[in-house]
Amino acid sequence: MNKLTSTTIALVLSAASFASSVSAEIIGVYLRNSEEFILIRTTDEGMMYCTRVGDGFEMCDGVVEQDDGSWSGTQMKHPDMPSFMTFRGKVTFSETEVSLEGCTTGNTQCESEVWPKQ
């Protein structure tokens, strides 16, 4: 087993342990920027969270499911932006990846990312 695979397994197991301790259902583990593992989970309250496994940074921050199956919210965060900035965002899933789109107030600054499922 190579080092990356061992690390991936260890991270997923620790993330699964964290998720079960907060009454969550794991949707999956995704890879952001080819290096950051993101755990996506839902809570019993119907909210979804996208948490960077390495440091616990929360990107989706309680988005809620929409009628079309996507998830959206107004408190999404980007790890490369100042912590006070929040985005109105949307999260959509396919079998192999998750897509995130987010814009600041007034749609003056928008960004999207696609993360492959691990």
For the chain, the average pLDDT equals 85
> pLDDT tens-digit profile of 18-34?
544 456 799 999 999 99
User: How far apart, in whole angstroms, are the C-alpha atoms of residue 28 and residue 82?
Assistant: 27
Whether the pLDDT of residue 2 is over 50: the answer is no
**Structure confidence at residue 75 (pLDDT):** 93
**Structure confidence at residue 12 (pLDDT):** 54
pTM for this structure?
Answer: 0.79
Main-chain dihedrals φ then ψ at residue 99, nearest 5 degrees: -115, 135
**Structure confidence at residue 21 (pLDDT):** 47
- Written as six digits, the tokens of 52 are 């960077």
Main-chain dihedrals φ then ψ at residue 33, nearest 5 degrees: 55, 30
User: Which pLDDT band holds residue 11 (cuts at 50, 70, 90)?
Assistant: low
**Structure confidence at residue 1 (pLDDT):** 43
**Structure confidence at residue 32 (pLDDT):** 97
Higher pLDDT, 106 or 66: 66
